[in-house]
Amino acid sequence: MEATKEYLEQQRLLPDCEDQKAPIENEATPSSSSRRRRPPLVPLLLVIGIFSLLLLPTRTTVGCHKLPAAAVSTYNSTASPPDHSQPSVSLVPDVWAQNTVPKSKESPSSSSHMGRVISAIRNAASNALHKRQLGIPGLPGIPGLTTPRRSVLQCFEVSQPLLTPANSTRAGGAPCSALLMEHVFAFSYGKPFVGNYTPPNCDFNRVVMNFSVVSAGRQFDRLALMYLGDTEVWRTSTAEPTASPGIHWEYHRDMTQYLSLWKKPQTVIFDLGNLVNANYTASFNTTLTATFFKDDVKTATAPPADVIIPITALNYSRNEGTPLSVFLLPGMNASTTVKSFPRNANRAVLAIQANGQAAEEFWWSNLLQSDVATFNATNGMAPGMSPFREVAAMIDGKLAGFQWPFPVIFTGGVVPTLHRPVVGLQAFNLREHEIDITPWLPLLCDGNPHTFSFDVRGLLDDNGKSGTLSNNITSSWYITGKVFVWLDDEGSITTGSTPEIQGVDPSIDISQHAITRDQRGRNQTLTYNVAVKRDFTVKARVKTQKSSFESAWRQRLSYDNKNNVTNYGQDQVTRFGVLGSDTAFSDQKTIYGQDYNYPLAVDMRIQNSPQTGTMTLSAGMNQGMTFQIAGRSVFPDGLEAFAGTRNDKNFTASILSTFREGSATFQQTIIPGRPSTSTGSGNIRQEFSFGGNFERYPEIFNATAGIGSQPDVMLYYRNLTVANNAVTRDRETIAGRRNNEVSSATATAPSVDRNVVSESAPDQVYFDAASSRDDFAAPRFPTAAKFGVGYGPFMERRWQ
């Protein structure tokens, strides 16, 4: 890891602990010669949090030289001694619905007048961008914004229940568990946890993992990647902690899709890069366990693959000095050559895991490349290459498929008070994207080496008139992949025709591009719309041991983004939407399909009052996510916990639909000679539904449906409201039975009990769920006409 350490030291983010004599006050500040100017827009406004934090007193001071041994252990260790400044956690809980937790923050010294205050804010923004280059998403939380608590704040991500031994009706033998990791991530850049896993001595065909974390103090949100050897198996992020006693969260994940790996000894690698110094004081005290059990539950998903091939940097197996195998783009050649692909494969699926960090964390709000200097005179250079991104997957240099990324907003994103105690969509479980590459089997099974590669693309525009794809993006994208392979009998060889590719080039439209100026000639506002569409197909004739068929993979994708930047680059309104429909065919019959819709609306505004020394940041956010999964998915479709119950209706597809809407403010007053004051608040409402469909409904791909599509049978429903870090309302229904209303931040969905779940007709189940939504005008989610690609007046309404 010397190369990584050298890079960190160059960025002044990794001080030399061996030579450090005193706590470092500003180690996270890059030199002025290397600073990036902060982008105007979302990252700009978030940066105010950094400045405000540094003005807030910290409760603890942890210098680099004072770190415990556990915090500086090398990646050869299997476990670190516990950090006794925080409570130790080591549990295998009985409750399996998702729960989670948030974070904390800090800043420089006060200025003599408002002009210096604004300058300091801008400098803090530049520093924040450099920190993000190391994969530090969001801003540290604001401990001064909340009333001190006597109990640990319990945080969570809303999700449907999982299948576990507790709710299994066909378990074979007693379940068993294993402690995979117990580790404190303090000063942990370049120092992942590395431990050994040995398969348990019990019969199992399912695996569920539990990640539990305790943290207290001030810290950024951090990205974490888990590997089994060279294969990434989970990507998550942390909540931002609060002052002592801090926060706690748990996340439970079904890991059955990696069964072939769990059946063999593995090296567990968990990378959670963290920085602890005098300003950022919180470490993450983590426990990771796995539960193994037997259950022959049947859903439409594919059985676990026979072979899993990592498409990563393979640094662990190559002993390259670091066990971390993630590709970082740009800057790396994101390709892996597979020397001996299994020649007896009958199906193969490539899974991609990708997300932006640093200057690419808020890629969905970026400007057109021709506009990056529009507000340079008043607000600095902005990130560019448009607000569009796609990850392209290639086999031997030819396009095999795409991932259009979900805009994950981590727990420090926009305003931290938007994410406590309920974190944002996918913040704790970044979803992977499946691309069926069965049409490529005739090529892959020919006995020759074949290369898999990834590319991340934005748009290069012609002065706001037209756009072309370009991979000239800024830092950074974290990307890994893996190929799931199902095999025929040993000795058989799959053959067929050469893949035919259609729809290589997308349709790109840039419109409504305009800049207005004030009387002094300064750029005051900027508007632009970006729309991209794809209809991509790969097909080939495939002959396996048992059959001959035409295999095809089709992706229909639609992207739309409307941006309005005002107030000399300080304010921005973004309306973002992606619609996608992926289908794998065998002889024109669908064997797998996924339809998805994820709109996002963000409005950020800032007001400065030099007369009073007050700065006010206001933000509104509305985000949704719908996934309909049908057929032979590699990953669990969510129906496992309900299969075999009275609510099992032989579903063809599952559908998950959720949306969050919220608003938050942050106000800071700085008067020379007086202590600064900071106040803030946040309100969030989230609605979540999950259920089963009797068929795959194509209207998910239609802008008039999308978010709000209801299942044929509602299996899980939750509706909650948060005000200033506390859950004030929480109602949920599991398979038609509604729990009592609660008012606790620790509210969590119980597991499904297959023996007592009541049977309800679909309409009755829907009624039970809808009846708890007494604060809605109609018992349905917002449709796209209000909230999706059609956008609508949500944010305009909020700010009138």
Q: What are phi and psi of 768, to 5 degrees?
A: -60, -45
Is pLDDT of 155 > 50? yes
Contact of 66 with 179, CB cutoff 8 Å:
no
- Say which residue the tokens 């072979």 belong to: 307
Query: What's the CA gap between 728 and 747, in Å, rounded?
Result: 10
User: What confidence tier does 345 reach under pLDDT thresholds 50, 70, 90?
Assistant: very high
429: closest CA among 651, 638, 691? Answer: 638
When computed from its CA atoms, the radius of gyration of the chain, rounded to whole angstroms, is: 25
Residue 6: its pLDDT value, please? 36
Q: What is the mean pLDDT of residues 27-35?
A: 31
The answer to whether the beta carbons of residues 36 and 359 sit under 8 Å apart is yes
Which pLDDT belongs to residue 677? 83
Q: Please state, in angstroms and rounded to a whole number, the distance separating the CA atoms of residues 277 and 279.
A: 5
556-591 pLDDT tens trace: 999 999 999 999 999 999 999 999 999 999 999 999
**H/E element, 3:** helix 2-10
* pTM of the complete model: 0.78
- CA–CA distance, 50 with 131 (Å, rounded to integer): 11
- Residue 13 is given by DSSP the state -
- Report d(CA 197, CA 180) in Å as an integer: 7
User: What pLDDT does residue 527 have?
Assistant: 98
Mean pLDDT of 584-608: 95
Q: Which helix (H) or strand (E) holds 540?
A: strand 523-543
Question: What is the SS3 string spanning 571-596?
Answer: EEEEEEEEEEEEEEEECCEEEEEEEE
- 335-338 and 223-228 as β-strands: parallel, antiparallel, unpaired? unpaired
What integer is the mean pLDDT of 56-62? 31
Contact yes or no for 470/366 (Cβ under 8 A):
no
What is the spatial distance between Cα 773 and Cα 761, in angstroms, rounded to a whole number? 19
What is the mean pLDDT of the segment spanning 41-57?
Answer: 41
The tokens for 770 are: 């809808």
- Convert the pLDDT of each residue in 428-437 to its tens digit: 999 999 999 9
Q: Which of 738, 746, 700 is nearest to 599 (CA)?
A: 700
Higher pLDDT, 571 or 76: 571
Domain regions of the chain by residue span: 2-799
The CA distances from residue 567 to 53, 370, 572, in Å, are 25, 19, 9
The pLDDT, as a whole number, for residue 607 is 86
What does the pLDDT average to over 81-91?
32
Bond preceding residue 663 cis, omega within 30 of 0: no
Give CA–CA dist 1/75, Å, rounded.
10
CA terminus-to-terminus distance, the chain: 52
Segment among 417-431, 537-551, 674-688, 766-780 with least mean pLDDT: 766-780
Contact 83, 68 (CB under 8 A): yes
SS3 category, 369: helix
Residue 435 near residue 349, CB atoms below 8 Å: yes
The Cα–Cα gap between 51 and 179 comes to 40
Q: Which of 77-86, 225-234, 507-516 has the lowest mean pLDDT?
A: 77-86
The DSSP code sequence of 700-739 is GGSTTSSTTPPPSEEEEEEEEEEETTEEEEEEEEETTEEP
Q: According to the model, what pLDDT value does residue 699 have?
A: 66
What mean pLDDT is predicted for residues 324-338?
Answer: 97
**CA-CA-CA-CA dihedral for 383, 385, 386, 388, to nearest 10:** -110
Tokens standing for residue 763: 């309409």
Q: Within its chain, how far is the Cα of 425 from the centroid?
A: 7
Cα–Cα distance for residue pair 252/545, rounded to 1 Å: 38
> CB within 8 A of 521, min separation 6: which ones?
none
> Where does 385-544 have alpha helices with state H?
441-444
Strand partners, 176: 292
Largest CA-CA distance found in the chain, in angstroms, rounded: 82
Q: What is the mean pLDDT of residues 621-626?
A: 96
The string of DSSP codes covering 604-660 is EEEEEETTTTEEEEEEEEEEEEEEEEEES-SS--S-TTTTTSTT----SEEEEEEEE
Structure tokens at 379: 């607000």
Which of the four pLDDT bands, split at 50, 70 and 90, describes residue 111? very low
Q: Is residue 183 within 8 Å of residue 82, measured between CB atoms? A: no
Across 24-28, 144-148, 179-183, 627-631, least confident range:
24-28
Contact by Cβ (8 Å): 552, 592: no
Q: Is the pLDDT of residue 706 over 90?
A: no
Least confident of 42-51, 422-431, 562-571, 644-653: 42-51
Using CA atoms, how far apart are residues 484 and 347, in angstroms rounded to an integer?
8
If 0-12 CB within 10 Å is exposed, 13-18 middle and 19+ buried, where does residue 777 land? exposed
pLDDT digits 0-9 by tens, 196-236: 999 999 999 999 999 999 999 999 999 999 999 999 999 99
Q: What is d(CA 204, CA 296) in angstroms, rounded to the nearest whole number?
A: 10
Peptide bond into 507 cis (omega under 30): no
What is the rounded CA–CA span in Å between residue 36 and residue 61? 28
> What DSSP designation does 193 have?
E
- Supply angle C-alpha 540, 542, 547, rounded to 5: 145
Q: Averaged over 711-717, what is the pLDDT?
A: 92
Gap between the Cα atoms of 460 and 546, Å rounded: 47
Max mean pLDDT among 61-70, 622-631, 787-796 falls in: 622-631
- pLDDT at residue 708 tops 80: no
Query: Which spans in 17-67 are helix H?
Result: 41-54
The Cα–Cα gap between 675 and 678 comes to 10
Rounded Cα gap, residues 578 and 600, in angstroms: 9
Phi, psi (deg, nearest 5) at residue 637: -95, 0
Cβ(598)–Cβ(627) under 8 Å? no
Q: Which two tokens stand for residue 268?
A: 């567990």
CB of 660 closer than 8 Å to CB of 424: yes
Q: How many Cβ atoms sit within 10 Å of the Cβ of residue 512? A: 12
Indicate whether 68 pLDDT > 60: no
Distances from the Cα of 60 to the Cα of 23, 243, 272, angstroms: 12, 9, 22
Of residues 629 and 751, more confidently modeled = 629
CA–CA gap between residue 708 and residue 691 (Å, rounded): 12
User: Which of 273, 152, 180, 276 minimizes the C-alpha distance to 222?
Assistant: 273
d(CA 742, CA 739): 9
| 623 neighbors 591 (Cβ within 8 angstroms) | no
